[in-house]
Structure 1
Amino acid sequence: MRILFLVQGEGRGHLTQAISLGQILRGAGHKVVGAMVGTSPGRNIPSFFHEQIFAPVHHFAAPNIIYKAHGGGMNVGRTIAKHLAHLPKYLKSLHRIHETVRQINPDLIVSFYDTYGGLYNTIYRSGIPMICIAHQYLLLHPKFVFPENSRLNRFLINLNSKSTSWLSAKRLALSFREIPSAPELKISVLPPLLRKEVTRLTPQNGAFILVYMTHHSLSKQVINWHLKHQEVELHCFWDNPDASEEFTFDSTLTFHQINSEKYLRMLATCRALVTTAGFESVCEAMYLGKPVMMVPVPNHFEQECNAIDGVISGAGVMSRSFDLSVIFDYLPKHIDQSAKFRAWYNCGQEMFVKEIGEFEKSIDMRRKMQSEI
């Protein structure tokens, strides 16, 4: 099959999932014919994606989250206002996606939680089947455990997940652990998608703590803790456009620009990971047997859900701030889940090939009908 990816470009997780699935699909004889990726001001698509997707990359303007200064979390008001102000631009992006699909004419579209996925299906009705993949679709599952007193937030995030997958053929929900699928909701629960580079690493127990943050404004919290605990070696990855490739704050605190290869190498050799509660980063740490302290970005309900689910799955501990004392208190209690996690992950390749391969017969029929017209 000729498969076209539609990828949400915000954060690292959806991009790395697309790379991983591309590796699996090519190994099964399919062809990834392109990747359409949403971009926004101040957030460039990391170079590793262009290098490792092995397909033409098409960019389009997409909505993004706006954060408050100094680690204050998501600014809901400004985010909504900006999206409304840029609505004409986003409608042009939707048309650009349609034109790209028409030019490439794929057999299947795989959307990685892209904002435009459901709108594209609803407005343009291309007739090309779409599969939607994300951890967020697990939140639609009746067995998912939510934070207490979160009915409104639960409704809103699930409304968004439904909107990204309107008229899709199937939702593939990525999970830290095995959970029965919910076919009545078009939900198939599958293992995480990790790049092969992660599985080739050999974990070692180092002395330093690795920190990964989705926005450089959160670095202030790390620095405040560090100034009181300068004996602890910290290496932090951030997206600060004004910083050098490697910024040495002092002898025990170093900031690194996001670099996939470097980050994974340090993840394999760190003592523990402290990160905003992105699904992909926690999965990589679990595979390598690294304890995780998950810090949901303030006002970011999805990350709060990820953190709770990660704790239930044995990944580590949740914290409301980058107070690294929390991870040091937790470390003696941690039970390594890497063997269990790897067993679940190793089921993934066969499961993904099967889920996507189910469309081949209908696609062959569509090709035949097109050739007869």
Structure 2
Amino acid sequence: MKILFLVQGEGRGHMTQAISLSQILRSAGHQVVGALVGKATNRVIPSFFAEQIKAPVYEFIAPAIAYNPGGKGMNVGHTVYSLFRNAGQYIKELRTIHDKVNEIQPDLIISFYETYSGLYNLIFRPQIPMLCIAHQYLLMHPKFVFPEKSIFNRFLINLNSRAASWLAHKRLALSFREMEGNSENKIAVVPPLLRRELRSLQTSAGDFLLVYMTHHSLSKQIIEWHQAHPEVALHCFWDNPNVSDEFVFDNTLTFHRINSEKYLNKLASCKALVTTAGFESVCEAMYLGKPVMMVPVPNHFEQQCNAIDGVISGAGIKSETFDLSKILEYLPNHKSQSQTFRNWYQRGDALFLSEVSSAVKRPELSRKTGVMPFFAQRILNSFL
């Protein structure tokens, strides 16, 4: 079976999920024939993705989150403004996706929360089935626990999730723990997608804290805490393009450019992980039995939800700031959920292959793209 990926290039999680699923699919005899990756104009797709996906990678411009300077989190206003300001460019990129789908003619498209996926289905009406995979789809589950007084934010994030998966065959919701599905929203709850390299790692209790941040502007808080506690060794991973691959701040603080192999080795040997509440990083830590302090990016509702769900699942604690003293205080009380998590994770291969098989067996679908509706063609042409 020929399978094409659509991958959101914001952050590390969706890309590592795509790598993991590609390994599962190839082991079952399927082909991953390409990966279309959406990214902001000023972002660089990490080299590890092209190296490990083992398929042609095609980039296109996509919306991205804008951050405030000085580590003050997500700038909602600028994010929305940028979306509308560049709407013409973004719509043009739909043609890039469509042309590549026509060229490759896959049997199945799998989207990793790529923003364009639902809009592509709506405008071009391809007769190729699509599966949409993300932890965000779990937030559409009626039993998901949200932050208090979050009705509006809950509406917005689920609206975005619905838009990213319009007309998809099914939504596969990645979860820290087992939950039953929800047929009303076409949700199947599945285990996390983690890279197979985790399975061979040997863990040890190191003497340093590991920090992972989604944006280098958040490093300001780390440096401030470090200067007050220089005796605690820290290794931090960031995406700062203006420094070398390894930036030694001083004897006990080192910043590393995001590197898959180096990060996993550090995770296996650290004392604990401090991370900006990204789903993938928390899952990897749970698998390896490492306590986690989750620090949601300010004004980032999705990460607030991830942190609450992580605490419920036994990953560790939640904090609003990078006050690393909290994780040091928590460590003696941590109860590892590693074995429970691994039991859930090990069911993943069979569940994903079953969903792939179910999607392509839909008798009403052919394997060619459909005819774009007239009104959609007019809209698209107005931007070309």
SS in 1 for 2:230: coil
Q: CA deviation at 1:357?
A: 1.0
Q: CA deviation at 1:361?
A: 2.9
Residue identity opposite 2:289 in structure 1: G
Residue identity opposite 1:121 in structure 2: N
State how far apart, in whole Å, the 1-side matches of 2:157 and 2:179 are: 20
Q: CA deviation at 1:41?
A: 2.6
Contact 2:169/2:359 (8 A) holds in 1 = no
- Indicate the residue corresponding to 1:6 in structure 2: 6
After superposition, what is the alpha-carbon deviation per residue over 1:6-47, rounded to whole angstroms, capped at 9, x for unaligned? 000000000000000000011111111110000213321100
Q: Within 5 Å, which residues of 2 pair with 1:204-283?
A: 204-283=204-283
State how far apart, in whole Å, the 2-side matches of 1:259 and 1:365 are: 40
SS in 1 for 2:366: helix
For the aligned residues, what is the CA RMSD?
1.3
State how far apart, in whole Å, the 2-side matches of 1:364 and 1:350 are: 25
Q: CA deviation at 1:326?
A: 0.9
Cα pair distance change 1:365/1:8, threshold 3 Å: closer
SS in 2 for 1:323: coil
- Indicate the residue corresponding to 1:171 in structure 2: 171
State how far apart, in whole Å, the 2-side matches of 1:42 and 1:241 are: 10
SS in 1 for 2:48: helix
- Indicate the residue corresponding to 1:59 in structure 2: 59
Mapped pair 1:286 → 2:286: yes
SS in 1 for 2:167: coil
State how far apart, in whole Å, the 1-side matches of 2:6 and 2:264 are: 25
- Indicate the residue corresponding to 1:113 in structure 2: 113
Contact 1:107/1:363 (8 A) holds in 2 = no
Q: TM-score, normalised by structure 1?
A: 0.97
SS in 2 for 1:322: coil
- Indicate the residue corresponding to 2:312 in structure 1: 312
Residue identity opposite 2:348 in structure 1: G
Residue identity opposite 1:150 in structure 2: S
Q: Within 5 Å, which residues of 2 pair with 1:40-51?
A: 40-51=40-51
Contact 1:246/1:256 (8 A) holds in 2 = yes
- Indicate the residue corresponding to 1:349 in structure 2: 349
- Indicate the residue corresponding to 1:28 in structure 2: 28
After superposition, what is the alpha-carbon deviation per residue over 1:52-76, rounded to whole angstroms, capped at 9, x for unaligned? 1111111100000010001100001
Mapped pair 1:160 → 2:160: yes
Residue identity opposite 1:54 in structure 2: K
- Indicate the residue corresponding to 2:182 in structure 1: 182
Cα pair distance change 1:41/1:305, threshold 3 Å: same
State how far apart, in whole Å, the 2-side matches of 1:367 and 1:84 are: 34
Mapped pair 1:147 → 2:151: no
After superposition, what is the alpha-carbon deviation per residue over 1:199-221, rounded to whole angstroms, capped at 9, x for unaligned? 21111110100000001111010
Residue identity opposite 1:213 in structure 2: M
Residue identity opposite 1:22 in structure 2: S
Q: Within 5 Å, which residues of 2 pair with 1:87-126?
A: 87-126=87-126
State how far apart, in whole Å, the 2-side matches of 1:366 and 1:232 are: 59
State how far apart, in whole Å, the 2-side matches of 1:14 and 1:314 are: 23
SS in 1 for 2:109: strand
- Indicate the residue corresponding to 1:366 in structure 2: 366
Contact 2:40/2:64 (8 A) holds in 1 = yes
State how far apart, in whole Å, the 1-side matches of 2:141 and 2:201 are: 33
Contact 1:17/1:195 (8 A) holds in 2 = yes
Residue identity opposite 1:61 in structure 2: I
After superposition, what is the alpha-carbon deviation per residue over 1:67-98, rounded to whole angstroms, capped at 9, x for unaligned? 00011000011111111111111011111101
Q: CA deviation at 1:362?
A: 3.2
SS in 1 for 2:35: strand
State how far apart, in whole Å, the 1-side matches of 2:151 and 2:185 are: 20
SS in 1 for 2:332: helix
State how far apart, in whole Å, the 2-side matches of 1:257 and 1:138 are: 30
Q: CA deviation at 1:184?
A: 2.2
- Indicate the residue corresponding to 2:375 in structure 1: none
State how far apart, in whole Å, the 2-side matches of 1:186 and 1:361 are: 17
Cα pair distance change 1:242/1:27, threshold 3 Å: same
Q: CA deviation at 1:364?
A: 10
State how far apart, in whole Å, the 1-side matches of 2:365 and 2:231 are: 65
Q: TM-score, normalised by structure 2?
A: 0.94
- Indicate the residue corresponding to 2:379 in structure 1: none
Q: CA deviation at 1:363?
A: 6.7
State how far apart, in whole Å, the 2-side matches of 1:239 and 1:201 are: 24
- Indicate the residue corresponding to 1:333 in structure 2: 333
Which consecutive residues of structure 1, in runs of 5 or more, have no partner in the other structure? none
Residue identity opposite 1:172 in structure 2: L
Mapped pair 1:69 → 2:66: no
State how far apart, in whole Å, the 1-side matches of 2:302 and 2:293 are: 16
Q: CA deviation at 1:235?
A: 0.4
- Indicate the residue corresponding to 2:378 in structure 1: none
Residue identity opposite 1:218 in structure 2: L
State how far apart, in whole Å, the 1-side matches of 2:25 and 2:183 are: 23
Mapped pair 1:322 → 2:325: no
Q: CA deviation at 1:365?
A: 7.4
SS in 2 for 1:189: strand
Q: CA deviation at 1:304?
A: 0.3
SS in 2 for 1:299: coil
Higher relative contact order (CA 8 A, sep 6+): 2
